[in-house]
Amino acid sequence: MREIIFDTETTGLDRNGDRIIEIGAIELDNRFPSGRTFHVYINPQGRQVHPDALAVHGISNADLEDKPVFEAIAEDFLDFTEGARLVAHNATFDMGFINAELARLNISAIDPERVVDSLALARRKHPMGPNSLDALCKRYGIDNSRRTKHGALLDSELLAEVYIELVGGKQAALGLDSNTSSAQQQTGGIEAVALPSRSRPLTPRLTDEERQAHEAMVAGLGEKAIWAQILPQAAKTAD
């Protein structure tokens, strides 16, 4: 299964007037990074970066003067994502801008059936939140110390790690054939094995002095101490 984890940065929040200025994307193959990435900065064609947006991602109009316009990178982006599931955090925002840019070029919008919103996944899995990318990195122990500013490629790299955790963690699924028993399926593909009882108990490792010292310590804890309940049971088992 091929999935593309992606993120965009924009000049502002208005998809009808603001423009995409950065796209970053990471390819996952069966939930493992393939090593293929897509990253490009885009000239917003005269649209000024809003000060609030600049404070978030730090990309100025001067940074974008010599960058290609969206039309020049559209085919490369569509080729990179073709046939793959697209994953974004708050995907409504990113897909709204992507499809608005495609509409300006008379290119059909990307089918929403191909899109997964990792924010929606996080809200279902962690309904008490918070579910921002930074909060999820903290929850899953993912190092995001480099994220002093938002950046599409870095955010995609972090989101890829978060997404893998959201959908089941980093352990590869065990391959189960059609003959696998229901007991194996219920235990995650690991078959339970019944171990025979020992013909004779193991030799105790505690000396009599150590046992007596422990019993004296427990006696000082009072009748309600949990050890006072365990010791009689252990004595019966030893007998």
Active-site positions read 150
Q: In what order do the strands lie in the sheet with 32-41?
A: 32-41, 20-29, 2-10, 85-88, 115-117
Query: Which residues lie closer than 8 Å to 168 by C-beta, 6 or more apart?
Result: 31
Burial class (CB in 10 A: 0-12, 13-18, 19+), 85: middle
**Separation between Cα atoms, residue 237 and residue 235, nearest integer Å:** 5
**Separation between Cα atoms, residue 77 and residue 81, nearest integer Å:** 6
Cα 239 to chain center, whole Å? 52
